[in-house]
Amino acid sequence: KLREDGKWSNGDAVTANDFVFAWRKLANPKNQANYFFLLEGTILNGTAITKEEKAPEELGVKALDDYTLEVTLEKPVPYFTSLLAFSPFFPQNEAFVKEKGQAYG
């Protein structure tokens, strides 16, 4: 469950969909993210997506509503909550990322 008072610098609310967008972007091999391997063996379908066997939309993460994120793991991952403090797992404002295009990140 996310805090409901989180805001982006433009005033938009930080939502569960911002996490879903960021994590799918991280998983997508076309983005060549430096830390994509952190999804392998952790979040459901992470390995298959990074090996281009499944689509990023099949990553085991979904927004149940604006402030509820559901994550399905491949197996018990005792250090998973620690991973969430690492920047590749931070949310991204989808509208901002798309507006900036190739200039983002």
- What is the secondary structure of 19-61 as a DSSP string? HHHHHHHHH-GGG--TTGGGGTTTBTTHHHHHTTSS-GGGSSE
DSSP secondary structure letter of residue 75: S
Q: What is the CATH code of the structural domain delimited by 16-103?
A: 3.90.76.10
> What is the reported pTM?
0.95
Q: Which pLDDT tens digit goes with each residue over 2-54?
A: 999 999 999 999 999 999 999 999 999 999 999 999 999 999 999 999 999 99
